[in-house]
């Protein structure tokens, strides 16, 4: 293919020879080259777009040449001349559209190159606690922009107090743990790095007693306290070459923003290994006991989920789908539940629990 500048010059010469409609200036930018440093997927897509634009340009050049052959010797103010002017105006519009497409393509390549350079510049795969909290804050901001939260002080205060009661007995009691309720009938709860926990209102309605609800919260606290997100973060950083440089980057895209976007896009904040899920259950049992809440409510709640959704549909919307089966939980927790300490607890639901359940039905 001839260089675009040469082609542009030829086309300009042809257009200037047309007697019915002259274009005195036409600046068509060259298509930029695709950096080899981009990922295979990015590079393949951009090469496809570039090839399409090259074919579009060849077609436009051919159309201009055909137009010139037909119209450059047509007498002015004849019916055919008017058709030539209309065709010329149409061609002019198509070339302007092509110019816009090239500019957008070149800008996409530039951004992809900058993004790729940023990804490679970030090198530290593991987060300090301060960085972990900041990452969780970025993720919370992005997720909450897409969710509807239950904004009720009674519900929030009850859940936050229950969360605090549990978190002070976790491995990392000093983290700024918070809990928010998502207006969603799906049975789900999840935790973000640094202390953010979200519970769907559908899950709260499903809990028959405080022990079941506390068991879910304790399980999510355990994921955060045990830094179970760290392995997921490490996998993402290795796959895309992302990390954090001292927790600080300047510019429109920060390391935290990039990493939080990737984790959300991949749903990585809800994906844990079987071993991590088992550890979260074990830590939750101890946490519940220390908070003087009977921990045996953990397994019945998940058994209830199994009975309610026996086919395991809508995996992302159902808490049970991302966790071990109730049978597996019972087997894993049997040695702990055999501890006489747990059966000696005579936990009674707080007076606030039925009030909150009723309040949830009203919202």
Which tens digits make up the pLDDT trace of 10-44?
Answer: 343 333 334 333 334 467 888 998 887 776 667 77
Please state which of the ranges 165-174, 248-257, 353-362 shows the lowest mean pLDDT.
Answer: 248-257
Tell me, yes or no, whether 98 and 194 share the same domain.
Answer: no
Shared domain for 54 and 72, answered yes or no, is yes
Into how many domains does the chain fold?
A: 2
Same domain? 95 vs 162: no
Enclosing domain of residue 25:
4-121
- For the residues 249-264, what does the mean pLDDT come to? 60
pLDDT confidence tier of residue 253, bands split at 50, 70 and 90? very low
Are 76 and 209 in a shared domain?
no
Least confident of 129-133, 229-233, 303-307: 303-307
| Claim to verify: residue 32 and residue 136 sit in the same structural domain | no
Q: Percent of the chain, pLDDT > 70?
A: 74
- Domain end point (choices 91, 121, 151): 121
Residues 200, 65 within the same domain: no
Mean pLDDT of the chain: 77
Question: Does 140 lie in the same domain as 59?
Answer: no
Looking at residue 310, the DSSP 8-state letter turns out to be T
Across 61-90, b (16+ Cβ under 10 Å) vs e yields: beebeebbeebeebeeeeeebeebbebbee
Q: Are residues 147 and 33 in the same domain?
A: no
Amino acid 233: pLDDT:
76
110 and 151 belong to one structural domain: no
- CA 256 – CA 13 distance, rounded (Å): 52
Binned at pLDDT 50, 70 and 90, residue 166 comes out as very high
Domain boundary among 67, 94, 121: 121
Distances (CA, A) of 284 to 19, 74, 171, 225, 333: 84, 87, 11, 10, 11
113 and 174 together in one domain: no
Residue 139 and residue 51 share a domain: no
**Token reading at 145:** 């922009």
Residue located via tokens 């049997």 = 334
Which of the four pLDDT bands, split at 50, 70 and 90, describes residue 46? confident
Beta strand 178-182 with 196-200 is parallel
Same domain, 116 and 162: no
Give tens-digit pLDDT for 186-195: 888 999 999 9
Average pLDDT over residues 230-248: 58
Q: How far apart are CA 125 and CA 245, in angstroms?
A: 9
- Residue 282, pLDDT above cutoff 70: yes
Where a domain ends, among 104, 121, 138?
A: 121
Q: How far is CA 257 from CA 23, 231, 250, in A?
A: 46, 18, 11
Determine the Cα–Cα distance for residues 149 and 180; give it in Å rounded to an integer. Answer: 7
Average of per-residue pLDDT across 171-195: 93
């Amino acid at each position: 293919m001839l260089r675009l500048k040469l082609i542009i010059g030829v086309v300009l010469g042809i257009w200037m020879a047309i007697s019915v409609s002259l274009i005195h200036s036409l600046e068509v930018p060259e298509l930029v080259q695709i950096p080899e440093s981009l990922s295979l997927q990015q590079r393949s897509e951009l090469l496809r777009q570039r090839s399409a634009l090259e074919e579009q340009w060849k077609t436009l050049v051919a159309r201009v040449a055909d137009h010139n052959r037909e119209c450059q010797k047509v007498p002015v103010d004849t019916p055919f001349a008017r058709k030539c002017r209309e065709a010329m105006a149409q061609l002019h519009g198509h070339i302007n559209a092509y110019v816009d497409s090239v500019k957008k393509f070149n800008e996409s390549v530039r951004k992809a190159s900058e993004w790729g350079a940023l990804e490679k510049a970030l090198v530290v795969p593991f987060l300090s606690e301060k960085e972990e909290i900041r990452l969780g804050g970025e993720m919370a901001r992005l997720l909450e922009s897409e969710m509807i939260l239950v904004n009720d002080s009674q519900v929030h205060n009850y859940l936050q107090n229950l969360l605090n009661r549990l978190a002070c007995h976790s491995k990392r009691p000093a983290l700024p743990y918070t809990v928010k309720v998502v207006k969603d009938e799906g049975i789900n709860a999840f935790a973000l790095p640094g202390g953010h926990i979200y519970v769907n209102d559908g899950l709260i309605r499903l809990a028959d007693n405080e022990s079941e609800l506390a068991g879910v919260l304790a399980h999510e606290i355990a994921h955060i306290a045990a830094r179970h997100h760290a392995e997921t973060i490490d996998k993402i950083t290795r796959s895309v070459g992302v990390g954090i440089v001292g927790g600080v980057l300047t510019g429109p895209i920060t390391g935290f923003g990039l990493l939080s976007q990737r984790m959300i896009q991949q749903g990585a904040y809800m994906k844990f290994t079987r071993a991590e899920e088992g550890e979260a259950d074990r830590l939750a049992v101890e946490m519940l006991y220390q908070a003087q809440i009977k921990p045996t409510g953990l397994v019945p709640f998940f058994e209830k989920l199994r009975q309610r959704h026996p086919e395991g549909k809508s995996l992302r919307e159902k808490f049970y789908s991302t966790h071990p089966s109730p049978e597996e939980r019972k087997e894993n927790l049997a040695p702990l539940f055999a501890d006489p300490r747990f059966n000696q607890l005579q936990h009674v639901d707080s007076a606030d629990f039925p009030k909150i359940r009723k309040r949830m039905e009203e919202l």
